[in-house]
Amino acid sequence: MDLLIAFAWLGVALIAGKLFRNAFPVFKRLFIPASILGGMLLLLLGPDVLGALSPVTLFSPQVLSIWGGIPGFMINIVFAALFLGKTLPKIKDIWKKAGPQIAFSHTVAWGQYVVGLGVTGLVLVPLFAVEPMFGTLIEIGFIGGHGTAAGLGDTFAELGWPQGQDLALGVATLGIVLGIFAGIILVNWGVRNNHTSVIKTGSEAKQDIKEAQEVHQGMEDDLVNRGLADEALPEVTKVESMEPLTFHLAYIAAGIGIGALILTVLTWFERQFLLPLGTPVLLGHLPLFPIAMIGGIIVEKLHHRFFKGVLDRVLIMRIQGSALDMLIVSALASLTLSALAQAWLPLLVLVSAGIIWTVAAFMFIAPRMMRTHWFERGIGDFGQSLGVTATGLLLMRIVDPKNETPAFEAFGYKQLLFEPFVGGGLFTAISAPLVFTFGLRTMFVVTGAMLLFWLILGLRMGRKF
């Protein structure tokens, strides 16, 4: 019964979030998803707010416990579906079309680690005695977003820092709002200083912002996969043999299963051969979801080997989006506000440092890495680096409403050599365990070296592209 009640409350919250979004235009202007609004509603009705102000208790501990376990499950569906149904081009072709954009995105991401770890080591640990892993929260929350932040809950708990999930979710929520505000400010700055190639006046920018707000729904599905999904080809399964939804869910499940098998082998190898040599536990702290992404790629390859038809990318994205909605609403509903209340000042310092770095990278590094249409291409990466992929796409649509520049195509191709590693990828998943295992100073040097590599590579490419 508790499971059914928990599920029912999530459904009510999602519907309420949709109604709130329609009733209050400010939420539409800020592009706040209904899942976030629904999750915040459950949080307000939970024990940390309503329960603290009155004797009323709407949710039992069992229901809260169920909500707390949902994100760790749903994040595997999100990542296993990431590349299912996509035609993956050769790396050479990806690099040719989006090399500078790949370098810039990695520069921003690794820079967020460097800034976060640096500020944590120099300021936050001495003054506030925060966990060294605190320095990973900028990249996890900003680029990784709510999905990654919630999905790392078990990892943070295993490392003895369960508050990390709550703090990462707080960073992700701030990132979505600040990404929109800062992005629109930069759009107006770019127009005034003649950095934009398509729109040239403030009135054009305002009109494009208004139009982007009106067509924002579904925009990510439309654009991020442009040129990457298979065209309509023969059906892969008939309704009479199996429902297409069931068939695609089976593929996602198979991807998760292959990922789990790979992770089991890796952890067995670590226990049998590495730990006896005195090496610290690392793979044992690795969550499943980045490996599930690899499992999804393997399933996609096997599918083309044994079936003539193609997977329906739109249906895959519908499943992925549903899982992400359930993930976000349940993660926010089970958020512990005490963790945010206790760390609000160091969190404010950390987020401010992350915003300053991301804005500075866009203004000073992007034009030197991307010589042509740098503003249109860079603003998408900026939006993604502070919020979510949809934020970047929104900002690109504002400055390039008719797709007259290479920005959209390059952004889509860039994801293939970006998401598997950072922004919710493999390194994002193990960043906190790495800091826990090897220490803040060591990981500052490692991420600094990665930042330097991508910065130099991007600046060199900027002379050719």
Matching residue, tokens 């949080």? 43
Give the HSE-up count for residue 145: Cα atoms under 13 Å, Cβ half-sphere: 27
Going by pLDDT thresholds of 50, 70 and 90, the confidence category of residue 213 is: low
| Percentage of the chain lying above the pLDDT 90 cut | 57
The dihedral sign for the CA sequence 438, 442, 448, 449: negative
Query: Quick one: tokens of 381?
Result: 């990466």
Across 52-57, average pLDDT = 83
* pLDDT of 348 over the 90 cut: yes
pLDDT of residue 364: 96
Q: What is the pLDDT of residues 82-94, one digit of tens each?
A: 999 887 788 888 8
- Residue 86 φ then ψ, to 5°: -100, 145
pLDDT of residue 464: 65
| Percentage of the chain lying above the pLDDT 70 cut | 90
In the chain, the amino acid numbered 16 is: A
pLDDT of residue 218: 47
Q: What is the pLDDT of residues 396-422, one digit of tens each?
A: 888 888 888 888 888 888 988 998 899
* pLDDT of 215 over the 60 cut: no
CB neighbours of residue 88 within 10 Å: 13
- Using CA atoms, how far apart are residues 383 and 212, in angstroms rounded to an integer? 14
| Contact between 98 and 419 (Cβ < 8 Å) | no
Q: Residue 79: which of 126, 148, 15 has the closest Cα?
A: 148
The pTM of the full predicted model, rounded to 2 decimals, is: 0.87
pLDDT of residue 231: 39
C-alpha to C-alpha distances, 373 to 56, 66, 180, 283, nearest whole angstrom: 56, 48, 21, 41
Going by pLDDT thresholds of 50, 70 and 90, the confidence category of residue 465 is: low
Kindly state the DSSP code that residue 372 receives in the 8-state scheme.
Answer: S
Secondary structure class of 199 (helix, strand, coil): coil
pLDDT of residue 160: 94
Q: What is the pLDDT of residues 284-315, one digit of tens each?
A: 889 999 999 999 999 998 988 887 777 888 89
Going by pLDDT thresholds of 50, 70 and 90, the confidence category of residue 240 is: low
C-alpha to C-alpha distances, 31 to 23, 55, 216, 428, nearest whole angstrom: 14, 35, 8, 25
pLDDT of residue 363: 96
| Contact between 101 and 411 (Cβ < 8 Å) | yes
- Residue 178 φ then ψ, to 5°: -70, -30
Q: What is the DSSP track for 142-194?
A: HTSHHHHHHHTHHHHHHTT-THHHHHHHHHHHHHHHHHHHHHHHHHHHHHHTT
* pLDDT of 226 over the 50 cut: no
pLDDT of residue 401: 83
pLDDT of residue 129: 95
* pLDDT of 219 over the 70 cut: no
Comparing 133-142, 198-207, 311-320, 357-366, which segment has the lowest mean pLDDT? 198-207
Across 114-135, average pLDDT = 97
- The domain segmentation of the chain, as residue ranges, is 2-86+97-233+309-461
Q: Specify the higher pLDDT residue, 279 or 349.
A: 349
